[in-house]
Chain A
């Protein structure tokens, strides 16, 4: 594994020394997106300490505080900078805790998809033959359906297999699995392509001749070569995963209301749109949009920076 680590480290060094850093510095928009993404990640991670209020501590919630408008509007209070929701929770705090759930599910499902996709891609590309044909057929069929549908279906199946109360506990995990399962194809395809090219190179052949086990060859030699494209897909995928999570939660099949993500918050707030309490839904919505936009911009930039040919 040492060589693999060294290769990755080496790859990073090359990346940092190359055009990537240059193009990063040269684009203000990219730097802004990076800053926004960093604020989100740290804000979400440190939410229990930074948030003005713990929105899940039922003891501290006062129904009297419900529907307080944002601070700059008439009737606003300094305690609730962005207003409060129907249960008297501070919207800013729910957004911070909500981003936490959204990012957790997003990152975890991307990692899961990556792990699954890279593994299947490596196997498919390296072993070839009927294994390859089977995996790619499954990928083809899955790819012709939108991710959201796959995730919904998996969610529905799990809901049926696991009884109600247990399901609520496992909801986040189920969500991660269903989103992850709906995104693996891209990784598998890319990794398979790279693997097929790499496996015929002489150093891999040489390793095979001297009897290095295939699994080790893949880990040491092939894996480092697929890191670049995988990272690009992962970044762009993160935005999609966050959107998918929000959509599922909005549809009411995502995370349970006890553990609201941004999507859940928007769904809850949506009921109050007509009665004029727009802030309950619009602020989480804006938070989600800005998060996704900045991750998307970062992904676009990373893709262009690592692939000068595309420009």
Chain B
């Protein structure tokens, strides 16, 4: 178990270093960083001095090591566009994105899994077919279109929910939360549904097909033959066996939710990291882009690690294999 965790951690570090390298490459070789920092009228000598001060004349590996070292300390440079330290910029936007992603993921899981179980257990029912048709539409509609439709219906026509922003937020240290005010809760509804809908349909379809698969297995038939109640068969035996693929996809999708927040945040003018990233892409604000990339990679790596550990909790076959190998 410990050996496994260490191996996974090492792999994660390799992925992080690769992404850091891409970010570093972006920083240093796409365009001239000096050009991006100083005005047109700076003299060649000044430029050279700046170059020396920033360590841009150091050998490549030294510069990369410095870059990684700085990143580890949370020093990501200064935004070209906002002239503010990137670390602070991102930190001010992080809570909005994470709270939105959390709500979207909860929506996707809490609605997707029950609907998947239902449509998997009763595939012939009219309501199941209805859910499936809806899910096909959910997969085919681009996220931003769903957002626009929701705004049209709930903000413009019905006027019951706000169409932009986070509502009132409360500061808890450096973290700003919308979960403590009524307007914050109202503001998160439409963006969370928009962001989570695709994942919801995906999880629903996945759980459904896994459920259909598992219900055909011999151990489910044998569980029935032993006279176990439907409840025990469906939820104790069948659902648990569908969990491994569901965990995998959910893990991947959590990462996708954080990344897709870019689109949702644009539609709803949600003041998160995604909106910041998009603006920095339009202005070629490399430090912000690079930092965002590293941060997203970090989230992915952490989520993947958690997913792998969850497998071990759910599936005893993996657990025992590791023990045997360890012996």
Contact = CB atoms under 8 A, between A and B. Distances in A.
A281 B284 contact: no
Interface in A252-300: 252-253, 263, 266, 270, 273-274, 278, 281-282, 285, 288-289, 292-293, 296-297
Contact of B262 (A152, A293, A296): A152
B280 to A, nearest CB: 8
A149 B296 contact: yes
Given A160-B30, A161-B30, A282-B152, A153 B289 contact: yes
Contacts of A252: 278, 282
Interface in A221-263: 239, 243, 246-247, 250-253, 263
Interface residues of A, number: 37
B148 A266 contact: yes
Interface in B289-305: 289, 293, 296-297, 300, 304
A268 to B, nearest CB: 12
Interface in B275-320: 277-278, 280-282, 284, 286, 289, 293, 296-297, 300, 304
Contact of B284 (A160, A273, A274): A160
Contact of A159 (B19, B144, B151, B281): B281
Interface in A146-204: 146, 148-149, 152-153, 155-157, 159-161
A148 B304 CA distance: 19
B145 A285 contact: yes
Contact of B282 (A161, A253, A289): A253
B281 A247 contact: no
Nearest to A281: B148
B291 to A, nearest CB: 13
Contact of B142 (A146, A161, A292): A292
A145 interface: yes
The SS class assigned to the A binding surface is helix
Contacts, number: 106
B143 A247 contact: yes
B116 to A, nearest CB: 18
B201 to A, nearest CB: 12
B18 interface: yes
A157 B22 CA distance: 11
Given A239-B140, A252-B282, A293-B140, A288 B259 contact: no
A62 interface: no
B30 A266 contact: no
B182 interface: no
Interface string B233-272: 0000000000000000000100110011011001100000
B148 A270 contact: yes
Interface string A67-86: 00000000000000000000
Nearest to A156: B281
A145 B259 contact: yes
B15 interface: yes
Contacts of B163: 274
28 contacts: A144-B255, A145-B255, A145-B259, A145-B296, A146-B255, A146-B256, A148-B263, A149-B259, A149-B296, A153-B281, A153-B289, A155-B281, A160-B286, A161-B30, A246-B144, A247-B144, A247-B263, A251-B144, A252-B278, A253-B278, A263-B142, A270-B267, A273-B148, A282-B152, A285-B149, A289-B140, A292-B140, A296-B136
